[in-house]
A = this chain, B = another copy of it.
Amino acid sequence: MKREIGVGLVGSGFMGRSHALALAIAAVAFDLPLRPRLELLADRDPATARRAAEAFGFRRSTGDWRELVADPGVELVSITTPNVLHEPIAMAAIAAGKAVWCEKPLAPTAASAMAMAKAAEAAGVPTFVGFNYLKNPLVRTAREIVAAGELGEVTRFRGIHAEDYMADPEVPWSWRLDPANGGGAVADLGSHIIAMARFLVGPIEELVADLRTLVPERPVAPGSGERRKVEVDDEARALVRFANGATGTLEANWAATGRKMHLAFEVTGTRGAIVLNMERMNEMRLFLRDGRAGRQGFVEIPAGPAHPDYAAFVPAPQHQLGFNEIKAIEAAHILRALAGGEPFYPDFREAAEVQRTIAAIQLSARERRWARVDEVGAG
């Protein structure tokens, strides 16, 4: 009989369901050393928690995350709450010696994030952060190609994560807009593209950035005449220099009318380039400067069993993975790491570095000058 691990899930929204789906899928798709046991689900509202537990297949529910953290049946604490709650829950879990799977961005500030990373490291607790797009088989193939030097020396990263869920000025004020969460688009979407840039090219050393709030105030509720001031950015842009000498641009934008999943990048090297756009997350474009004249161009590579982890889902190429299956790869990697396999990437330490990059962007924008990432939140 396979060893089990008890999972406690905090939160029952979109990402809560996604964690539940990911665990369910991973259990069937992968041959894993650990079987997840969906032990306990916590939501502020006990009735919601009960309904979500039933829906997601958890055994028990609670209205208090502290109870979940303390529960002896819970070995892995999965956090899918608004950002502002990540720190207290994670800290409590770490203190209880439990592994933590936390959604991004890790914390509202670089300092919090770094404190969380250090606490986990001091406690020897494994941590996992939900930068799910890094688990896409094609993104990992891109990293392999970069690492193998197939593109030559990497010189350039052009990255963006743009969606439009906040483009309409009538979208009401919500927790996403609470400065206590640590930022607007730069935190919510910027964290993804920064994590991607770091995964593919490495640490960003210095940058100059601009933040902008497009909608200065929003209705307090849908259709309400009463409006509340918006204090976070709708758009964030930066020119960046990586530690390895590469340069580029980053943009995070949640008001990019028409865009629904424009998380995209181009990595350019002296001998080739990769273009990947999550609008079509099952295909990658690869250029290598060694083709025959008249036959050169970007190869459109469909995701397939030759790419990492794809074959767990379908044996044939281009049959396609969805958002939740990518998340299931994340879950599988977590379960393997918990069973003592390969360490998981990205952990709290990595997420804290992402957070510092966000903080540097905010610093640069505030002071309207180039900023070094090591000016902020050093650990």
Residues on A close to B: CB < 8 A? Answer: 2, 14, 17-18, 20-21, 24-25, 27-29, 31, 54-57, 141, 151-152, 155-156, 158, 160, 163, 165, 167-169, 208-210, 212, 214, 235, 237-239, 241, 247-249, 251, 253, 255-261, 266, 268-273, 279-283, 285-287, 289, 291, 293-302, 304, 306-307, 313-325, 368-370
Q: Is the CB of B302 within 8 A of A299?
A: no
Could you give 9 example pairs across A and B, Cβ below 8 Å?
A21-B25, A155-B235, A167-B289, A285-B300, A286-B297, A293-B306, A295-B299, A297-B301, A322-B325
Alpha-carbon separation in the docked complex, A282 to B281 (Å) = 10
- Cα–Cα, bound, A301→B322 (Å): 17
User: Which one of B24, B285, B287, B368 contacts A257 once the chains associate, using CB atoms below 8 Å?
Assistant: B287
Contact of A317 among B214, B260, B286, B304 (CB under 8 A): B260
Asked if A295 and B289 sit within 8 Å, CB to CB, the answer is no
Complexed CA–CA distance, A315 and B21 (Å): 14
A251 cross-chain contacts in B, Cβ below 8 A: 158, 249
For A14, the closest partner residue in chain B by CB is B315
CB distance from A202 to the nearest CB of B (A): 17
A253 CB contacts on chain B under 8 angstroms? 156
Residues of B close to A18: CB separation below 8 A: 314
Which 8 A-B residue pairings sit nearest by Cβ, starting from the closest?
Answer: A258-B287, A322-B322, A294-B306, A260-B318, A261-B318, A297-B301, A258-B273, A321-B322
B14 touches A314 (CB 8 A): yes
Q: Which residues from B are CB-within-8-Å of A248?
A: 237
Task: Name the one of B294, B304, B323 contacting A141, with C-beta atoms under 8 angstroms.
Answer: B294
Output the residue of A158, A257, A302, A313 with the most chain B CB within 10 A: A257
Report whether B324 and A25 are in contact in the complex, using a CB–CB cutoff of 8 Å.
yes
Residue of B nearest to A241 (CB): B210
Provide the bound-state CA to CA distance between A55 and B260, in Å: 36
Cα A167 to Cα B279 in complex, Å, equals: 28
Residues of B within 8 A of A151 (CB): 257
Chain B neighbourhood of A241, CB < 8 A: 210
* Other-chain residue from B163, B165, B268, B323 in contact with A320 (beta carbon distance below 8 A): B323
Distance of A163 from chain B, by nearest CB (Å): 7
With the chains together, A294 CA to B270 CA distance in Å? Answer: 21
With A289-B257, A307-B294 as known contacts, state yes or no: A319 contacts B314, CB within 8 Å: no
A21 touches B17 (CB 8 A): no
Which of B28, B287, B321 sits near A57, CB closer than 8 Å?
B28
Q: Which residues of B contact A368 (CB under 8 A)?
A: 208, 370
Q: Once the chains bind, are A299 and B298 in contact (CB under 8 Å)?
A: yes
By beta carbon, the residue of chain B nearest A165 is B316
With contacts A24-B27, A291-B299 taken as known, whether A214 is within 8 angstroms of B155 at the C-beta atoms is yes
A7 to B253, CA, bound (A): 46
Complex contact A249–B237 (CB within 8 A) = yes
Residue of B nearest to A300 (CB): B297
Residues of B within 8 A of A165 (CB): 316
Cα–Cα distance between A317 and B214 once the two chains are bound (Å): 22
Residue of B nearest to A285 (CB): B300
For A266, the chain B residues whose CB sits under 8 A away are 256
What distance in Å separates the Cβ of A89 from its nearest Cβ neighbour in chain B? 22
